[in-house]
Amino acid sequence: MNGLSILEKAFKLEETERVPWVPFVGVHGGKLIGVDAESYLKSSKNLVDGISKAVELYKPDGIPVAFDLQIEAEILGCKLIWSKENPPAVVSHPLSEGVELKSLSLPEKTDGRIMVVLEAASILRKKYPDLALYGLITGPFTLALHLLGSDIFMKMFEEPEYIAEVMGFCTQVGIRHSEMLMESGCDVIAVVDPMTSQIDPMSFETFVSPYVGEIFNKIRMKGKYSSLFVCGNAQQNIEVMCNCHPDNISIDENIPLEYVRDLALKKGISFGGNLKLTSVLLLGNELDSQMEAVSCLDLGGKKGFILAPGCDLPMDTPVANMQAVSGLVHDEYLQEVARKLEHTSSLKPLNLEGYWIKGKVIMDIITLDSASCAPCQYMVEAVKQASIGFGDRVIINEHKIKEKVGIRMMMALGVNNVPTICINGRVAFISQIPRKSELEKAIKDAL
């Protein structure tokens, strides 16, 4: 089943064989091809190369063409500060600096950096016909905040009619931008509106719902899919977000996934998220990333859930961590291993004092359970076969992580992957089952 098909099933709340996976590769694509964030976001070629590399490495079902919530704001007159590692930041707000709303126009294809993204989308569409392409637009409330600054929060109370006008304009900007993205081949339009996490449900219903709802209707009329993406602490707004009838809502780690799942499914809306970005994907290791991913998979389930990072991947996210997640998405064995390792924080490593025997080679094999798991069984068998010629000079111990003592041994040996072979306390072979000759050589070297 191709990426777009599996995502369509998720959007329609049909059960899927596995959970679809959509890594939000924004400026991280620049890291993959060795360019900084500014160069990445200003060049169609760089976007295509970066996303192509991400597709190769992370095997996604869907991926955004670009993650940049400043494109519309820049066209409308907001000043940006560029950065080597992040998307640019908006640092001026025209509507608070004397510019009148009526002087602003809807964007054209040739304005700003719109064409950079549209060209990239067209090329990626031809290159990956089965991949779901996400086109991102800035949600109308966040765009309104870019134009007005934080004054918007007081003006919502003091000048609601004016805010309604601004929101109306920002909605038309969003619709125009969505149309361009869809024409260029995007299958899913993600309306990214993080600033709505700042407001309460009643304000959301007044100042956001009718506007994003209009955008979703336009997308639906074109036969494409829509996602409402709000990062930040938006738990108070999940219900009203669903009531806007996007095909999907997407959230970050600030909101419990099970809370979103229960509410979204009740409303008939698919949902996505919410791998921890900084503490796990950026700063953790592969094992952390896999444990986080399986936790999300188990909470989200196989109906209506799309696995994704909570937000735009930090540029320096280790490739290995993302590959650990994508590997696990496609491999139930790895999921099972990660589940077993999940509850280890309260365990302490075994004390290996007195464990080693002079003159003997101790082969420790960390497995899920060779009795019930094929890769583990082959690993144990391979070690046994290779050890025959050495008689009782080789001692073979299997440590099953289904058991707490197995996990404690894994911790004591410093093992991060399963299955793994250690020889006299050193990690020797990870995941791959070594040839007999390789094992025999390793044992000889240890003796």
Partner 1 sequence: MSIPLRLITGFLGSGKTTFLMNYLDVFSSSRKIGVIQNEFSSSSIDGQLIRQNNGVYKMLEVNNGSVFCVCLLGSFIDSLAAFIEDHNPDEIIMEASGMSDPISIGQIFQSVKLRNKVYLDYSWTIVDARNFFNMKAIRSRLEHQIRIANTVVVNKIDLAGNDIEFVVEAIKKINPFASIERSSYARISFDWKKKAFNPSPIIESLESCKPDLQSVVIKSSRIIRIENLKLFIDSIKDEFIRVKGFVNTDKDKKTIVQGIFDDYSYFEVDWFPEITELIGVGTFNNSEDYTKKFEAYCND
Distance of closest approach, residue 71 Cβ to partner 1, in angstroms = 16
Among left, alpha and beta (phi > 0; psi -120 to 50; other), residue 328 is: alpha
Q: Point out which span in 85-93, 115-123, 170-178, 326-334 binds partner 1 (CB under 8 A).
A: 85-93
By CB under 8 A, name the one of 57, 59, 85, 168 that touches partner 1: 85
Cis peptide bond N-terminal to 60, omega within 30: no
If binding means CB under 8 A, how many residues of this protein chain bind partner 1? 55
Shortest distance in whole angstroms from residue 249 CB to partner 1? 15
Examine residue 398 and tell whether it contacts partner 1 (CB under 8 A): no
Residue 138 near residue 171 (C-beta atoms within 8 A): no
Nearest distance in Å: CB 256, partner 1: 3
Q: How far is the CB of 418 from partner 1 (least distance, A)?
A: 19
SS3 string of 224-276?
A: CEEEEEECCCCHHHHHHHHCCCCCEEEECCCCCHHHHHHHHHHCCCEEEEEEC
**253 or 286: CB nearest partner 1:** 253
Is residue 23 a contact point for partner 1 (CB under 8 A)?
no
Q: Which stretch binds partner 1 (CB under 8 A): 124-132, 202-210, 391-399, 426-434?
A: 202-210
259 binds partner 1 (CB under 8 A): yes
86 binds partner 1 (CB under 8 A): yes
- The verdict on 236 binding partner 1 (CB under 8 A) reads yes
Residue 255 contacts partner 1 per CB under 8 A: yes
Residue spans of alpha helices (H) in 344-414: 374-387, 404-413
Q: Are 423 and 361 in contact (CB under 8 A)?
A: yes
**From 122, 184, 203, 370, residue interacting with partner 1 (rule: CB under 8 A):** 203
Amino acid identity, position 214: E
Q: For residues 5 and 7, give the distance between their C-alpha atoms in angstroms, rounded to a whole number.
A: 5
Rounded alpha-carbon distances, angstroms, from residue 98 to 92, 102, 104, 132: 12, 12, 12, 42
Residue 410 makes contact with partner 1 by CB under 8 A: no
Gap between the Cα atoms of 53 and 171, Å rounded: 33
Q: Pick one of 5, 83, 285, 323: the residue that binds partner 1 (CB under 8 A).
A: 83
Q: Kindly state whether residue 89 participates in binding partner 1, applying the rule CB under 8 A.
A: yes
Pair 51, 29: CB distance under 8 Å: yes
Question: Using CB under 8 A as the criterion, which residues of the chain lie in contact with partner 1 when the complex forms?
Answer: 26, 81, 83, 85-86, 88-93, 149-151, 153-154, 156-157, 194-195, 197-200, 202-203, 207, 231-233, 235-236, 252-259, 277-279, 282-283, 310-316, 343, 345-346
